Structure 1
Amino acid sequence: MAPDTDYGKSLNNNNNNGFPHHQVLNVSSTVQPQPAPSKWFDDDGRPKRTGTVWTASAHIITAVIGSGVLSLAWATAQLGWIAGPSVMFLFSFVTYYTSTLLASCYRSGDPLTGKRNYTYMDAVKSNLGGSMVKLCGSVQYMNLFGVAIGYTIASSISMMAVKRSNCFHASKGKDPCHMNANPYMIAFGIVEIIFSQIPDFDQLWWLSIVAAVMSFTYSTIGLGLGVAQVVQNGKILGSLTGITIGPSVTQTQKIWKSFQALGDIAFAYSYSIILIEIQDTIKSPPAEAKTMSKASLVSVSVTTLFYMLCGSFGYAAFGDKSPGNLLTGFGFYNPYWLLDIANVAIVVHLVGAYQVYCQPLFAFVEKQAVQRFPDSYIITNDIRIPLGGRRHYNLNMFRMVWRTIFVVLTTLIAMLLPFFNGIVGLLGALGFWPLTVYFPVEMYIAQKKIPKWSTRWICLQILSAACLIITVAAATGSIAGVLHDLKTAKPFHTTY
């Protein structure tokens, strides 16, 4: 929220074509006025960016250590002690490496003074252009839409888990405590409607920090319960090759589930989709790419450590019976109060993560609306609401209505397809190769003018091709899992 000063209003009017400031922050990607940097404004005429390594890391951790961590014990169970941790390490390395390639594409030309690319699509347009922009936009925004659905499902499962753990405790395990997920999804949707009215990505920093703390809270609880269960068992469960083929699991099912596990792990590392938007909150100097690379290293290192521990101890505790969601699949029943804390932390985290992922999509739609209807009062004008002191909130009617419709739509689809593992795996598969690997690699090659068939070009193409194969396998396994779940699902009536 901008300070309400005549100086600020004057600069906004002069540099932003008469649009309210927050709208320009969302929509301006091609026209970049270049006034001299000042105490309050950057080289592109926008308010001084204040992001650091730590705020960027908070955004990344909020996006990365999400509901995906809860499926890692199940994923490790499908792959076994050798392949499970190896695949997690491989994904972490690829994610970090391609993130550094993508970060270098934030500015075109000089790393400190070149034209800024405010969004992922802007970076693709500057470096690749043509049909690649439409392809990137389709994949990115469909993936963001899917993540919103996945987070709605995950949050409802955690809310139900709180009630179920107390139900199990009260009945001493005699009551199955089945319940419908719909009321919990609706409750989550109502909360997201409220938070979705936060105008811009850079105003989410406080929500990201809260969400990041919640991430560590429930990940640590899951890890601690896994360690305690291993101690209680007196041995480490699991095998080198993963889940055992037998009466309950056929050879074909094991293959499909192993592929789905790849998608689950890919989803757990997915944040490249919003990396450019996070980078656009970072102050300079030093160059934003340098700061973002450090933030990526910190974040990926921390999350990989947590993932290895949570996935490994979850598998060690339950072996082949590792639940799809470590804290809600009821591998654990006690202490029920600790499970309640963990699941409340998951819900709080997902409230923030939903916004971190959806803000780029919100900004894209609002940009298109302003470009197509520049004279529309509803789209381009704000109602100023005083918040006390010198601060105010700009209420935009179009933003309020369209974001509300978006949240309602994702909630309805989540109620139709309430499959945690299948949806998580599918989202991870569909977003990993194109957004985390292919576009960063191709943009880096174009920006650095790497010669075709040079050693570096060949190595980058091999990396991209290998990740494509993994993505196809993961998508195939996840689709098989969703189709299997659909056989028993009843729209709007599925119970847990």
Structure 2
Amino acid sequence: MADRDFNKHSMNIEQSPQNNQPSKFLDDDGRPKRTGTVLTASAHIVTAVIGSGVLSLAWSIAQLGWVAGPAVLMAFSFITYFTSTLLADGYRAPGPVHGSRNYTYMDVVRAHLGGLRVQLCGLAQYGNLVGSPLDTQSLLQLVWAVKRSNCFHRHRHEHVMCSISNYPFMIIFAAIQVVLSQIPNFHKLWWLSIVAAVMSFAYSTIGVGLSIARVAGGAHVRTSLTGTSVGVDVSGSEKIWRSFQAIGDIAFAYAYSTVLVEIQANTQNKSKMRHSLTSIQDTLKSEPPENKVMKKASFVGVSTTTLFYMMCGCIGYAAFGNNAPGNFLTGFGFYEPFWLIDLANICIAIHLVGAYQVFAQPIFGFVEKQCNAKWPENKFITKVHAINIPLVGPYNISLFRLVWRTVYVVVTAVIAMIFPFFNVFLSLIGAASFYPLTVYFPVEIYISQAKIPKYSFTWIWLKILSWACLLVSLVAAAGSVQGLAQEVKTYKPFKSQS
């Protein structure tokens, strides 16, 4: 990713008349030449989309059944791809090809819509980004699954109590995040996306492979066209609430607009620390036009993830039936080979290490940018201290950044330990972020940019799509809140899992 750190002086030089033409090293906006392609953009998208949400899809299909489950998956796939193409056109304004660049999601909304909707976009976006790092609570289940798998293996699956305290591992995870949060120019760690993508494919493939082996082994499970049976598996009210929650889980699995549009570019120069947010699309070459490349990348990314989702969800449901666990790798439908299950959960843990930073870095940048602007004379906030680290070289450290980011990591870790509700939390995040970021703003941006006449055929069906998705988000949120209320009634915080 191109460096986004420019001080005011250099920005003035780059925007002067004699420098407003692209050069060998600069793009049309005076910033370093972008080198992104369909391949790199697709890799970012796959990394962003295929995450821990894939693990709950077997449970989601079990709630909805063979008909509604795959249909909902495909519907979210088409909607996500379609709205991502609309968002790709909004990258430049006023036109999708020759307009001025907008470097952040909020910039795109400001350029096309303006007014109160800019603040609403920021609220939805940063609310999603704040919530996503809390998904590291699933790390607790992963460590628990690894240790419990080994316990079952040692005792040959006998009915033994494998009481495990996994909070020390969460503390270790938080310590790792404290260190990673201090790395400058984090966006230049291009290997992070590669590692995360490899881990995603690894644990998804292991899960699918184990499910296929279970089905081939003649596992006797109950499945149906409508999913869990009322009066047998669940009550009538539970069927409704769980179906709503399943929709929210699927929405979370596809809701990648926040990451698609904004990836943190955390840089600093010699004079003062500045932070900005940059989009995947903002890394693409100017030729061919970014919107065309982004549409191709979205198609590749969404198609690839949909294939994985269909396999994980449908084959997982075939393997476990109506009793599919909320997380098909930690729910212990599988016991052997224990080492392969351990490997899959370790892959998820490694993926979560990188995913945490992907979602946390925009929060870091936003807070630090606001504080720098509000208190420019405060030395604690603005002063940078240069230190020399052996084998690494010079490193500029900010005491404010060190303290604030450490506090943020600690708070999210504590919350994750207190409330480890994997499925319900995924559903709630998905419900809250899907409609505004994936549907509403892309649709409104397109209507504004393309100047779609009010009450025309295109305007009407776009509005119908938007309203339908709003309804889906509302019912998913209702199911998530109800599920969270049920979990809170029986959960005891800081208790070892058995």
With structure 2 as the length reference, what TM-score do the two structures score?
Answer: 0.90
* Contact kept? 1:148, 1:358, Cα under 8 Å: yes
* Contact kept? 1:226, 1:317, Cα under 8 Å: yes
State the alpha-carbon separation in 2 of the partners of residues 199 and 103 from structure 1. Answer: 29
1:405 is displaced (CA, Å) by 1.7
State the alpha-carbon separation in 1 of the partners of residues 362 and 16 from structure 2. Answer: 18
SS at match of 2:223: coil
State the alpha-carbon separation in 1 of the partners of residues 184 and 173 from structure 2. Answer: 19
Matched with 1:461 is 463
User: What amino acid sits opposite 2:106 in the alignment?
Assistant: M
SS at match of 2:182: coil
445, 448, 460: which one pairs with 2:450?
448
* Contact kept? 2:388, 2:394, Cα under 8 Å: yes
State the alpha-carbon separation in 2 of the partners of residues 407 and 389 from structure 1. Answer: 27
1:345 is displaced (CA, Å) by 0.5
* Contact kept? 2:147, 2:164, Cα under 8 Å: no
User: What amino acid sits opposite 1:143 in the alignment?
Assistant: N
1:389 is displaced (CA, Å) by 10
| Corresponding pairs, count | 479
Matched with 1:23 is none
Aligned residues with identical type, % of pairs: 57
Deviates more, 1:184-193 or 1:69-78: 184-193
Answering whether residue 353 of structure 2 is matched by residue 351 of structure 1, we say: yes
Matched with 2:141 is 157
Deviates more, 1:423-432 or 1:52-61: 52-61
Answering whether residue 26 of structure 2 is matched by residue 41 of structure 1, we say: yes
427, 430, 436: which one pairs with 1:428?
430
State the alpha-carbon separation in 2 of the partners of residues 260 and 31 from structure 1. Answer: 54
State the alpha-carbon separation in 2 of the partners of residues 378 and 33 from structure 1. Answer: 39
Matched with 2:246 is 261
1:226 is displaced (CA, Å) by 0.4
* Contact kept? 1:149, 1:414, Cα under 8 Å: yes
* Contact kept? 1:208, 1:356, Cα under 8 Å: no
State the alpha-carbon separation in 1 of the partners of residues 19 and 378 from structure 2. Answer: 27
* Contact kept? 2:219, 2:319, Cα under 8 Å: no
Deviates more, 1:327-336 or 1:350-359: 350-359
1:261 is displaced (CA, Å) by 0.2
* Contact kept? 1:198, 1:204, Cα under 8 Å: no
State the alpha-carbon separation in 2 of the partners of residues 394 and 332 from structure 1. Answer: 48
State the alpha-carbon separation in 2 of the partners of residues 31 and 173 from structure 1. Answer: 72
Answering whether residue 210 of structure 2 is matched by residue 210 of structure 1, we say: no
State the alpha-carbon separation in 2 of the partners of residues 235 and 248 from structure 1. Answer: 16
1:17 is displaced (CA, Å) by 7.7
State the alpha-carbon separation in 2 of the partners of residues 136 and 32 from structure 1. Answer: 34
Deviates more, 1:240-249 or 1:46-55: 46-55
* Contact kept? 2:221, 2:322, Cα under 8 Å: no
Give unmatched runs, 5+ long, in structure 2: 263-279
Distance 1:265 1:401, change over 3 A: same
State the alpha-carbon separation in 2 of the partners of residues 429 and 164 from structure 1. Answer: 32
208, 212, 237: which one pairs with 1:223?
208
* Contact kept? 2:140, 2:417, Cα under 8 Å: no
Matched with 1:373 is 375
State the alpha-carbon separation in 2 of the partners of residues 425 and 102 from structure 1. Answer: 24
User: What amino acid sits opposite 2:330 in the alignment?
Assistant: T
Deviates more, 1:131-140 or 1:400-409: 400-409
State the alpha-carbon separation in 2 of the partners of residues 456 and 109 from structure 1. Answer: 20
Answering whether residue 121 of structure 2 is matched by residue 119 of structure 1, we say: no
User: What amino acid sits opposite 2:100 in the alignment?
Assistant: K
* Contact kept? 1:51, 1:282, Cα under 8 Å: yes
1:12 is displaced (CA, Å) by 5.6
Matched with 2:181 is 196
State the alpha-carbon separation in 1 of the partners of residues 404 and 35 from structure 2. Answer: 29
Cα deviations across residues 358-396 of structure 1 (Å, max 9, x unaligned)? 222222222212221233444344344567999864433
State the alpha-carbon separation in 1 of the partners of residues 65 and 16 from structure 2. Answer: 52
* Contact kept? 1:62, 1:349, Cα under 8 Å: no
Cα deviations across residues 223-273 of structure 1 (Å, max 9, x unaligned)? 000000001126674110001122551010011000000000000111101
1:112 is displaced (CA, Å) by 4.3
State the alpha-carbon separation in 1 of the partners of residues 496 and 424 from structure 2. Answer: 15
SS at match of 1:460: helix
SS at match of 2:297: helix
1:15 is displaced (CA, Å) by 1.1
1:143 is displaced (CA, Å) by 1.1
55, 62, 71: which one pairs with 2:56?
71
State the alpha-carbon separation in 1 of the partners of residues 145 and 469 from structure 2. Answer: 35
State the alpha-carbon separation in 1 of the partners of residues 87 and 398 from structure 2. Answer: 32
Matched with 2:267 is none
1:127 is displaced (CA, Å) by 1.2
147, 151, 169: which one pairs with 2:153?
169
Matched with 1:294 is 296
Matched with 1:399 is 401
Cα deviations across residues 417-463 of structure 1 (Å, max 9, x unaligned)? 11001101111111111110011111111121111111111111000
Distance 1:367 1:431, change over 3 A: same
Distance 1:394 1:112, change over 3 A: farther
1:280 is displaced (CA, Å) by 2.1
Cα deviations across residues 266-296 of structure 1 (Å, max 9, x unaligned)? 0011110122222222232222222221111
Deviates more, 1:68-77 or 1:381-390: 381-390
1:184 is displaced (CA, Å) by 2.6
State the alpha-carbon separation in 2 of the partners of residues 117 and 237 from structure 1. Answer: 51
User: What amino acid sits opposite 2:156 in the alignment?
Assistant: K
User: What amino acid sits opposite 2:76 in the alignment?
Assistant: F
State the alpha-carbon separation in 1 of the partners of residues 390 and 175 from structure 2. Answer: 26
Cα deviations across residues 390-422 of structure 1 (Å, max 9, x unaligned)? 986443333332222221111111122110011
User: What amino acid sits opposite 1:14 in the alignment?
Assistant: H
Answering whether residue 485 of structure 2 is matched by residue 483 of structure 1, we say: yes
State the alpha-carbon separation in 2 of the partners of residues 145 and 32 from structure 1. Answer: 41
User: What amino acid sits opposite 1:242 in the alignment?
Assistant: G
Deviates more, 1:280-289 or 1:125-134: 280-289
State the alpha-carbon separation in 2 of the partners of residues 394 and 97 from structure 1. Answer: 43
Deviates more, 1:402-411 or 1:263-272: 402-411
Cα deviations across residues 461-486 of structure 1 (Å, max 9, x unaligned)? 00001101111111111111111000
